[in-house]
Structure 1
Amino acid sequence: MGAIHLLLGPVGAGKSTLAQRLCEAHGAVAFDLDDWMVRLFAPDRPAAPDALVPWYTERAERCVEMIWVVAQDVGRTGTDVVLELGLVRALPRRAFLAQLDRSPFDVTLHLVDAPRERRRERVARRNATRGSTFSMAVSPEVFEMASDLWEPPTQRELAGRRVVHVDNGAER
Protein backbone atom coordinates (compact mmCIF):
# COMPACT_ATOMS: atom_id res chain seq x y z
CA MET A 1 0.00 0.00 0.00
CA GLY A 2 1.12 3.49 -0.74
CA ALA A 3 1.15 6.16 1.94
CA ILE A 4 -1.16 9.16 2.02
CA HIS A 5 0.22 12.65 2.66
CA LEU A 6 -2.61 15.11 3.43
CA LEU A 7 -1.60 18.77 3.26
CA LEU A 8 -3.53 21.23 5.40
CA GLY A 9 -3.10 24.98 5.69
CA PRO A 10 -4.40 28.38 4.61
CA VAL A 11 -4.02 29.86 1.14
CA GLY A 12 -0.44 30.84 0.34
CA ALA A 13 1.14 28.85 3.18
CA GLY A 14 3.29 26.74 0.85
CA LYS A 15 1.22 23.58 0.39
CA SER A 16 1.77 23.37 -3.36
CA THR A 17 5.52 23.77 -2.98
CA LEU A 18 5.55 21.08 -0.30
CA ALA A 19 3.42 18.83 -2.54
CA GLN A 20 6.02 19.09 -5.30
CA ARG A 21 8.80 18.21 -2.86
CA LEU A 22 6.91 15.23 -1.44
CA CYS A 23 6.18 13.92 -4.94
CA GLU A 24 9.85 14.14 -5.86
CA ALA A 25 11.02 12.56 -2.59
CA HIS A 26 8.49 9.70 -2.55
CA GLY A 27 7.67 9.16 -6.22
CA ALA A 28 4.14 10.16 -5.24
CA VAL A 29 1.15 11.20 -7.32
CA ALA A 30 -0.37 14.56 -6.36
CA PHE A 31 -4.05 15.39 -6.34
CA ASP A 32 -4.66 19.14 -6.08
CA LEU A 33 -8.25 20.33 -5.68
CA ASP A 34 -7.43 23.70 -7.27
CA ASP A 35 -6.22 21.98 -10.45
CA TRP A 36 -9.41 19.94 -10.66
CA MET A 37 -11.60 22.98 -10.02
CA VAL A 38 -9.83 25.05 -12.69
CA ARG A 39 -9.90 22.32 -15.32
CA LEU A 40 -13.49 21.28 -14.70
CA PHE A 41 -15.30 24.43 -13.64
CA ALA A 42 -13.35 27.66 -14.33
CA PRO A 43 -15.57 28.69 -17.27
CA ASP A 44 -18.64 28.49 -15.01
CA ARG A 45 -17.19 30.50 -12.09
CA PRO A 46 -19.60 33.26 -11.02
CA ALA A 47 -18.37 36.83 -11.17
CA ALA A 48 -20.34 37.98 -8.12
CA PRO A 49 -18.27 37.53 -4.94
CA ASP A 50 -21.34 36.65 -2.83
CA ALA A 51 -22.13 33.74 -5.17
CA LEU A 52 -18.61 32.31 -5.14
CA VAL A 53 -18.59 30.41 -1.83
CA PRO A 54 -21.77 28.34 -2.37
CA TRP A 55 -20.82 27.69 -6.01
CA TYR A 56 -17.30 26.63 -5.05
CA THR A 57 -18.32 24.53 -2.04
CA GLU A 58 -20.74 22.31 -3.95
CA ARG A 59 -18.26 21.62 -6.76
CA ALA A 60 -15.31 21.16 -4.42
CA GLU A 61 -17.23 18.51 -2.46
CA ARG A 62 -17.84 16.53 -5.65
CA CYS A 63 -14.19 16.85 -6.68
CA VAL A 64 -12.93 15.73 -3.27
CA GLU A 65 -15.17 12.65 -3.46
CA MET A 66 -13.78 11.70 -6.87
CA ILE A 67 -10.20 12.54 -5.93
CA TRP A 68 -10.49 10.21 -2.94
CA VAL A 69 -11.80 7.37 -5.12
CA VAL A 70 -8.92 7.75 -7.58
CA ALA A 71 -6.31 8.34 -4.85
CA GLN A 72 -7.29 5.05 -3.19
CA ASP A 73 -6.85 3.24 -6.49
CA VAL A 74 -3.40 4.79 -6.89
CA GLY A 75 -2.48 3.99 -3.27
CA ARG A 76 -3.47 0.36 -3.71
CA THR A 77 -0.81 0.06 -6.43
CA GLY A 78 1.83 0.84 -3.81
CA THR A 79 2.31 4.42 -4.96
CA ASP A 80 2.28 7.23 -2.41
CA VAL A 81 -0.35 9.94 -2.80
CA VAL A 82 -0.19 13.63 -1.90
CA LEU A 83 -3.57 15.25 -1.30
CA GLU A 84 -4.01 19.01 -1.40
CA LEU A 85 -7.75 19.30 -0.93
CA GLY A 86 -8.39 22.65 0.71
CA LEU A 87 -10.30 21.35 3.73
CA VAL A 88 -10.15 24.79 5.29
CA ARG A 89 -13.36 24.33 7.29
CA ALA A 90 -13.40 22.03 10.32
CA LEU A 91 -16.54 20.02 9.56
CA PRO A 92 -15.62 18.79 6.05
CA ARG A 93 -12.04 18.22 7.20
CA ARG A 94 -13.21 16.05 10.10
CA ALA A 95 -15.41 14.05 7.74
CA PHE A 96 -12.46 13.48 5.42
CA LEU A 97 -10.19 12.53 8.32
CA ALA A 98 -12.80 9.95 9.34
CA GLN A 99 -12.56 8.46 5.82
CA LEU A 100 -8.79 8.32 6.16
CA ASP A 101 -9.19 6.59 9.53
CA ARG A 102 -11.29 3.87 7.89
CA SER A 103 -8.78 3.37 5.09
CA PRO A 104 -5.90 0.88 5.10
CA PHE A 105 -3.33 3.59 4.29
CA ASP A 106 -0.49 4.95 6.36
CA VAL A 107 -1.41 8.65 6.69
CA THR A 108 0.71 11.69 7.49
CA LEU A 109 -0.84 15.11 7.97
CA HIS A 110 1.38 17.99 6.92
CA LEU A 111 0.16 21.14 8.67
CA VAL A 112 1.59 24.08 6.71
CA ASP A 113 1.35 27.67 7.91
CA ALA A 114 2.87 31.13 7.58
CA PRO A 115 1.87 34.59 8.78
CA ARG A 116 -0.97 36.17 6.82
CA GLU A 117 1.14 39.04 5.46
CA ARG A 118 3.77 36.59 4.21
CA ARG A 119 1.07 34.46 2.58
CA ARG A 120 -0.46 37.55 0.96
CA GLU A 121 2.96 38.43 -0.55
CA ARG A 122 3.45 34.89 -1.84
CA VAL A 123 0.06 34.79 -3.51
CA ALA A 124 0.68 38.15 -5.20
CA ARG A 125 4.08 36.90 -6.42
CA ARG A 126 2.60 33.61 -7.63
CA ASN A 127 -0.12 35.53 -9.51
CA ALA A 128 2.55 37.65 -11.20
CA THR A 129 5.12 34.96 -12.04
CA ARG A 130 2.72 32.05 -12.75
CA GLY A 131 5.41 29.55 -11.80
CA SER A 132 5.21 25.83 -11.21
CA THR A 133 2.72 26.08 -8.32
CA PHE A 134 0.31 28.40 -10.14
CA SER A 135 -3.10 26.97 -10.99
CA MET A 136 -5.30 30.07 -10.90
CA ALA A 137 -5.06 33.75 -10.08
CA VAL A 138 -6.17 34.55 -6.55
CA SER A 139 -7.42 38.11 -6.24
CA PRO A 140 -6.74 40.05 -3.05
CA GLU A 141 -10.46 39.79 -2.19
CA VAL A 142 -10.49 36.01 -2.64
CA PHE A 143 -7.25 35.71 -0.66
CA GLU A 144 -8.80 37.58 2.28
CA MET A 145 -12.04 35.60 2.07
CA ALA A 146 -10.20 32.26 1.90
CA SER A 147 -7.91 33.29 4.75
CA ASP A 148 -10.91 34.24 6.88
CA LEU A 149 -12.51 30.84 6.19
CA TRP A 150 -9.44 28.90 7.45
CA GLU A 151 -10.14 27.01 10.66
CA PRO A 152 -6.86 25.53 11.93
CA PRO A 153 -7.11 21.91 13.08
CA THR A 154 -7.70 21.51 16.78
CA GLN A 155 -5.54 19.38 19.05
CA ARG A 156 -8.42 16.90 19.11
CA GLU A 157 -8.31 16.57 15.30
CA LEU A 158 -4.56 16.02 15.39
CA ALA A 159 -4.47 13.68 18.41
CA GLY A 160 -3.26 10.18 17.61
CA ARG A 161 -2.20 11.14 14.09
CA ARG A 162 1.21 11.47 12.51
CA VAL A 163 1.55 15.22 12.04
CA VAL A 164 4.40 17.17 10.49
CA HIS A 165 4.27 20.89 11.27
CA VAL A 166 5.75 23.07 8.53
CA ASP A 167 6.33 26.73 9.39
CA ASN A 168 6.80 28.54 6.11
CA GLY A 169 7.19 32.03 7.53
CA ALA A 170 10.73 32.43 6.22
CA GLU A 171 11.48 34.35 3.03
CA ARG A 172 11.73 32.20 -0.11
Structure 2
Amino acid sequence: MGRIHLILGPQGAGKSTYARRLAQAEHATRFSIDEWMQRMFIPDLPKAMSLSWIMERVQRCESQIWATASQICANNGNVILDLGFTKIESRKNFQNLAAEIGAQTQIHILDAPHAVRKERVMGRNIEKGDTYSFEVTPGMFDFMEKEFQRPTDEERKDAVIVEQS
Protein backbone atom coordinates (compact mmCIF):
# COMPACT_ATOMS: atom_id res chain seq x y z
CA MET A 1 0.00 0.00 0.00
CA GLY A 2 1.32 3.41 -0.94
CA ARG A 3 1.33 6.52 1.22
CA ILE A 4 -0.89 9.58 0.86
CA HIS A 5 0.65 13.00 1.50
CA LEU A 6 -1.70 15.86 2.39
CA ILE A 7 -0.24 19.30 1.65
CA LEU A 8 -1.86 22.13 3.56
CA GLY A 9 -1.31 25.76 4.32
CA PRO A 10 -2.73 29.17 3.56
CA GLN A 11 -2.59 30.60 0.05
CA GLY A 12 0.83 31.67 -1.09
CA ALA A 13 2.62 29.43 1.44
CA GLY A 14 4.34 27.48 -1.36
CA LYS A 15 2.13 24.38 -1.40
CA SER A 16 2.16 23.81 -5.15
CA THR A 17 5.91 24.25 -5.51
CA TYR A 18 6.50 21.99 -2.52
CA ALA A 19 4.04 19.37 -3.83
CA ARG A 20 5.85 19.24 -7.18
CA ARG A 21 9.22 18.71 -5.50
CA LEU A 22 7.80 16.10 -3.13
CA ALA A 23 6.18 14.23 -6.02
CA GLN A 24 9.56 13.98 -7.75
CA ALA A 25 11.36 12.92 -4.57
CA GLU A 26 8.73 10.30 -3.69
CA HIS A 27 8.10 9.15 -7.28
CA ALA A 28 4.49 9.99 -6.52
CA THR A 29 1.45 11.04 -8.47
CA ARG A 30 0.46 14.63 -7.66
CA PHE A 31 -3.07 15.98 -7.71
CA SER A 32 -3.59 19.76 -7.60
CA ILE A 33 -7.10 21.12 -7.11
CA ASP A 34 -6.12 24.41 -8.77
CA GLU A 35 -5.05 22.60 -11.95
CA TRP A 36 -8.21 20.51 -12.03
CA MET A 37 -10.45 23.52 -11.50
CA GLN A 38 -8.57 25.54 -14.12
CA ARG A 39 -8.88 22.88 -16.79
CA MET A 40 -12.39 21.72 -16.06
CA PHE A 41 -14.43 24.64 -14.74
CA ILE A 42 -12.76 28.08 -14.74
CA PRO A 43 -13.55 28.63 -18.46
CA ASP A 44 -17.25 28.32 -17.50
CA LEU A 45 -17.05 30.55 -14.42
CA PRO A 46 -20.14 32.77 -14.28
CA LYS A 47 -19.54 36.52 -14.50
CA ALA A 48 -21.09 36.92 -11.05
CA MET A 49 -18.80 34.57 -9.15
CA SER A 50 -20.57 32.36 -6.65
CA LEU A 51 -18.80 30.54 -3.84
CA SER A 52 -21.44 27.80 -3.91
CA TRP A 53 -20.86 27.32 -7.67
CA ILE A 54 -17.11 26.96 -7.06
CA MET A 55 -17.40 24.70 -4.02
CA GLU A 56 -19.78 22.31 -5.79
CA ARG A 57 -17.17 21.83 -8.52
CA VAL A 58 -14.31 21.55 -6.05
CA GLN A 59 -16.20 18.71 -4.37
CA ARG A 60 -16.74 16.98 -7.72
CA CYS A 61 -13.01 17.23 -8.46
CA GLU A 62 -12.06 15.98 -5.01
CA SER A 63 -14.35 12.99 -5.42
CA GLN A 64 -12.75 12.00 -8.72
CA ILE A 65 -9.26 12.75 -7.43
CA TRP A 66 -9.89 10.43 -4.48
CA ALA A 67 -11.24 7.66 -6.73
CA THR A 68 -8.02 7.74 -8.77
CA ALA A 69 -5.65 8.40 -5.85
CA SER A 70 -7.00 5.47 -3.86
CA GLN A 71 -6.40 3.13 -6.82
CA ILE A 72 -2.84 4.39 -7.17
CA CYS A 73 -2.25 3.91 -3.46
CA ALA A 74 -3.77 0.39 -3.51
CA ASN A 75 -1.27 -0.43 -6.26
CA ASN A 76 1.62 0.61 -3.98
CA GLY A 77 1.98 4.08 -5.48
CA ASN A 78 2.44 7.22 -3.44
CA VAL A 79 0.08 10.13 -3.85
CA ILE A 80 0.49 13.85 -3.21
CA LEU A 81 -2.77 15.70 -2.56
CA ASP A 82 -2.36 19.44 -3.10
CA LEU A 83 -6.02 20.20 -2.49
CA GLY A 84 -5.67 23.27 -0.30
CA PHE A 85 -7.22 21.58 2.73
CA THR A 86 -8.54 24.89 3.98
CA LYS A 87 -10.89 23.27 6.50
CA ILE A 88 -10.07 20.86 9.32
CA GLU A 89 -13.11 18.78 8.32
CA SER A 90 -11.72 18.28 4.81
CA ARG A 91 -8.35 17.17 6.16
CA LYS A 92 -9.99 14.69 8.54
CA ASN A 93 -12.21 13.40 5.75
CA PHE A 94 -9.24 12.52 3.54
CA GLN A 95 -7.41 10.95 6.48
CA ASN A 96 -10.49 8.83 7.19
CA LEU A 97 -10.78 7.81 3.53
CA ALA A 98 -7.13 6.76 3.60
CA ALA A 99 -7.64 4.77 6.80
CA GLU A 100 -10.60 2.96 5.21
CA ILE A 101 -8.33 1.54 2.52
CA GLY A 102 -5.47 0.89 4.95
CA ALA A 103 -3.20 3.67 3.68
CA GLN A 104 -0.95 5.79 5.86
CA THR A 105 -1.10 9.55 5.56
CA GLN A 106 1.56 12.16 6.10
CA ILE A 107 0.56 15.77 6.66
CA HIS A 108 2.86 18.51 5.37
CA ILE A 109 2.14 21.99 6.77
CA LEU A 110 3.50 25.01 4.93
CA ASP A 111 3.38 28.60 6.06
CA ALA A 112 5.06 31.95 5.56
CA PRO A 113 4.39 35.45 6.87
CA HIS A 114 1.18 37.08 5.60
CA ALA A 115 2.98 39.83 3.67
CA VAL A 116 5.25 37.32 1.93
CA ARG A 117 2.32 35.12 0.94
CA LYS A 118 0.26 38.04 -0.41
CA GLU A 119 3.23 39.32 -2.41
CA ARG A 120 3.74 35.84 -3.91
CA VAL A 121 0.10 35.53 -4.91
CA MET A 122 -0.06 39.00 -6.47
CA GLY A 123 3.25 38.33 -8.26
CA ARG A 124 1.93 35.02 -9.55
CA ASN A 125 -0.97 36.91 -11.16
CA ILE A 126 1.55 38.94 -13.18
CA GLU A 127 4.15 36.24 -13.94
CA LYS A 128 1.68 33.45 -14.77
CA GLY A 129 4.40 30.85 -14.15
CA ASP A 130 4.25 27.12 -13.40
CA THR A 131 2.01 27.44 -10.34
CA TYR A 132 -0.43 29.95 -11.86
CA SER A 133 -3.91 28.54 -12.45
CA PHE A 134 -6.16 31.60 -12.19
CA GLU A 135 -6.02 35.19 -10.99
CA VAL A 136 -6.45 35.73 -7.28
CA THR A 137 -7.57 39.30 -6.65
CA PRO A 138 -6.66 41.11 -3.42
CA GLY A 139 -10.29 40.69 -2.33
CA MET A 140 -10.19 36.95 -2.99
CA PHE A 141 -6.91 36.69 -1.07
CA ASP A 142 -8.42 38.50 1.93
CA PHE A 143 -11.56 36.35 1.80
CA MET A 144 -9.58 33.10 1.74
CA GLU A 145 -7.37 34.29 4.60
CA LYS A 146 -10.45 34.24 6.83
CA GLU A 147 -11.52 30.82 5.53
CA PHE A 148 -8.27 28.95 6.29
CA GLN A 149 -8.42 26.97 9.53
CA ARG A 150 -4.97 26.75 11.08
CA PRO A 151 -3.69 23.24 11.82
CA THR A 152 -4.57 21.88 15.23
CA ASP A 153 -1.95 20.70 17.72
CA GLU A 154 -3.01 17.13 16.88
CA GLU A 155 -2.41 17.73 13.16
CA ARG A 156 0.97 19.31 13.85
CA LYS A 157 2.11 16.46 16.10
CA ASP A 158 3.44 14.14 13.39
CA ALA A 159 3.43 16.58 10.48
CA VAL A 160 6.30 17.75 8.34
CA ILE A 161 6.44 21.48 9.11
CA VAL A 162 7.82 23.81 6.43
CA GLU A 163 8.10 27.42 7.60
CA GLN A 164 9.24 29.85 4.92
CA SER A 165 10.25 33.47 5.13
- TM-score, with length taken from structure 1: 0.88
1:152 aligns with 2:150: yes
Query: What aligned pairs does 1:82-101 form with structure 2 within 5 A after superposition?
Result: 82-101=80-99
Q: Which amino acid aligns with 2:11?
A: V
SS of 1:5 mapped into structure 2? strand
Q: Which amino acid aligns with 2:67?
A: V
1:79 aligns with 2:70: no
1:167 aligns with 2:158: no
SS of 1:86 mapped into structure 2? coil
Which structure 1 residue ranges, 5 or more long, are not aligned?
Answer: none
Could you tell me which residue of structure 2 aligns to residue 32 of structure 1? 32
CA distance in 2, matches of 1:47, 1:147: 23
Query: What aligned pairs does 1:61-140 form with structure 2 within 5 A after superposition?
Result: 61-140=59-138
Q: Where in structure 1 do 4 or more consecutive aligned residues deviate above 6 Å?
A: none
Contact 2:4 2:104 in 1 (8 A): yes
CA distance in 2, matches of 1:102, 1:153: 22
Q: Which amino acid aligns with 1:30?
A: R
Q: Which is worse superposed, 85-94 or 13-22?
A: 85-94
Contact 2:70 2:98 in 1 (8 A): no
CA distance in 1, matches of 2:111, 2:158: 17
CA distance in 2, matches of 1:126, 1:138: 9
Cα RMSD of the aligned pairs, angstroms, is 1.6
Q: State the 1:118 CA deviation.
A: 0.8
Could you tell me which residue of structure 1 aligns to residue 22 of structure 2? 22
**Deviation string, structure 1 residues 79-115 (Cα, Å, up to 9, x no partner):** 2110011221223332222222323222110011112
CA distance in 1, matches of 2:39, 2:141: 20
- Relative to structure 1, the CA distance from residue 138 to residue 109 in structure 2 (aligned partners, 3 Å threshold; closer, same or farther) is same
Contact 1:107 1:162 in 2 (8 A): no
Which structure 2 residue ranges, 5 or more long, are not aligned?
Answer: none
Q: State the 1:9 CA deviation.
A: 0.8
Q: State the 1:155 CA deviation.
A: 2.0
Contact 1:32 1:85 in 2 (8 A): yes
Contact 2:3 2:105 in 1 (8 A): yes
Q: Which amino acid aligns with 1:47?
A: K
Could you tell me which residue of structure 2 aligns to residue 7 of structure 1? 7
